[in-house]
Amino acid sequence: MNSMRIGIIGAGGWGTALGLVLNHNEHDVFLWTHDPNLTHTINRYHINKDYLPNVILPPTLTSTNDASRLSDCDLILNTIPTQYIRATIKNFSLPLQNKLIVNGSKGIETESLKRISEIFKEAAATDAQNYTILTGPSHAEEVSREMPTTVVAASENIEFAKRIQEIFSNDKFRVYSSNDVVGCEMGGSLKNVIALAAGIIDGLELGDNTKAALITRGLAEMSRLGIAMGANPLTFSGLSGLGDLIVTCNSQHSRNRYVGEMIGRGKKLNQIIEEMKMIAEGVKTTESAYHLGLKHHVEIPIAEQIYRILFEDLEPLEAIKELMTRTSKYEWW
C-alpha cells in the first residue's frame, strides 16, 4: 500500500497512539494541536508526558500548531473531544471540506444532540461517503505499547471503510469494517455512560453480581436507544457495542469508570473533573443520552439514574434502590 500523508487533529493520548499505529505502517503522519508547549515537547523530546507517559515517540512522528498544513493531507483523523469539535473547526479555520475524514472520538454534542458525523457535516461540509468512524475496545495506553487490539471502521461508503482497514491494520492493530455509522457512533458514546455506573459500583464495592447485571442491562439500553435512532441491532453485539462496553466498564485505563468510582467513594463531580488532566466524555454524554431518551420516547433507566446522580445530586445507593425496585419486566426488553 502506498504511503499517505495523514494529519491528526488532536495530540492527546488517542491521537498520539493512532499516530504511532500509522507511523508503524509507514505513513507520513503529524499531530496538529493548538497547544505550542505540547508541540515543542513532542518535537524536541519525543514524548507526550501528560497523555502517554513512558512512551517514547519516533522522531518521524511530529507535531504542529499550523492548521494550514492539514490542507495537503490525503486523510484527516479527528481525535479531539466531542464537545470541542465544532468550535475547533470554526475557530482555527481547519481546512476539511472535501477531505477524507476518519473520526476517532466518541460522544454526542450536548447542545444539538448530534452525533459526530452530523457535526462534521454541518461544521465542515463533510460528505458522508468520505467519513468513517474508527471505534471499539481500544485504550490508548495499550495501543501505544502495541498490545493486540481490534476495532471497527464504519462508513456509509463500505469501500471507504475497507480502505481504512488497509491503512490502519497491522499485526498488532486489526480493523473490521461496517456500514452502520449510527450504531457504531451510538455504541461508542453510550458505553461511557454505563462505565460511569460501573465505576460507582466499584467505588461502593458492590461486587461482581452487580457489575454483571449493569453491563447486561446497560447493553440493552444502548441497543434500544440506538435502534430508535436507526442503528442495526447486531452492531451492539460487536466491537463498538459489547466489546467497548466490557473494556470501559472494567479497565484501570477508563477515565469514565474512574469518575464513577470517585463518585461511589463520596467525591463530588466538580472536584473530580478539576483534578483530572484528561476529559471523561461520559459526563457530557450522559446529559445527551438522557435528552435523547426523552426525544425518542425510549426507556433508559440506568442512564436516567446516572443523570440524576451527576446533575441532581441523587445518592448512588438511592439510585440503585430505585433501579432494583422498578416494575418487573420481561428480560428481552
> Any alpha helices (H) in the chain, and if so which ranges?
13-24, 36-45, 82-91, 116-124, 140-143, 158-168, 181-204, 208-228, 244-250, 255-264, 269-275, 281-296, 301-311, 316-324
Sheet holding 62-64, edge to edge: 62-64, 28-32, 5-9, 75-78, 101-103, 131-135, 149-154, 173-178
Average pLDDT over residues 117-123: 97
Write out pLDDT tens, residues 3-44. 999 999 999 999 999 999 999 999 999 999 999 999 999 999
Average pLDDT over residues 327-332: 89
Domain that holds residue 312: 183-324
Q: Is the pLDDT score of 47 beyond 90?
A: yes
Contact (Cβ atoms closer than 8 angstroms) between residue 140 and residue 53: no
Looking at the domain assignment, is residue 32 inside a domain?
yes
Which residues are 175's β-sheet partners?
151
Average pLDDT over residues 239-260: 96
Catalytic residue among 106, 114, 191, 284: 191
Same structural domain, 70 and 161: yes
Looking at per-residue confidence, does 275 or 58 come out higher? 58
Share of the chain above pLDDT 90, in %: 95
Q: Which three cell numbers stand for residue 43?
A: 518535537
Whole-angstrom Cα distance, residue 133 to residue 279?
20
Q: Is the dihedral of CA 252, 254, 259, 264 positive or negative?
A: negative
Whole-angstrom Cα distance, residue 70 to residue 40?
18
Per-residue pLDDT, 277:
77
What's the pTM? Answer: 0.96
Per-residue pLDDT, 234:
97
Report the alpha-carbon angle 234-235-240, nearest 5: 150
User: Of 147, 179, 211, which residue constitutes the final position of a domain?
Assistant: 179
Q: What is the mean pLDDT of the chain?
A: 96
What is the CATH number for 195? 1.10.1040.10
Per-residue pLDDT, 332:
79
Q: Is the pLDDT score of 62 beyond 80?
A: yes
Name which of 171, 189, 169 is nearest 181 in CA terms.
189
Write out pLDDT tens, residues 306-328. 999 999 999 999 999 999 999 99
Per-residue pLDDT, 238:
98
Same structural domain, 320 and 205: yes
Same structural domain, 211 and 305: yes
Same structural domain, 73 and 167: yes
Per-residue pLDDT, 1:
65
Q: Collapsing DSSP states into helix, strand and coil, what is residue 157?
A: coil
Enumerate residues 6+ apart whose C-beta is below 8 A from 267: none
Per-residue pLDDT, 279:
84
Is 99 a catalytic site residue?
A: no
Looking at the domain assignment, is residue 333 inside a domain?
no
Number of domains in the chain: 2
Same structural domain, 92 and 233: no
Share of the chain above pLDDT 70, in %: 100
Q: Is the pLDDT score of 48 beyond 80?
A: yes
Per-residue pLDDT, 191:
97
**Separate counts of helices (H) and strands (E) for the chain:** 14, 8
Looking at the domain assignment, is residue 263 inside a domain?
yes
* Mean pLDDT lowest among 88-102, 137-151, 195-209, 265-279: 265-279
Q: Is the dihedral of CA 85, 118, 232, 148 positive or negative?
A: negative
Same structural domain, 113 and 58: yes
Give CA 194 to chain center in angstroms.
Answer: 13
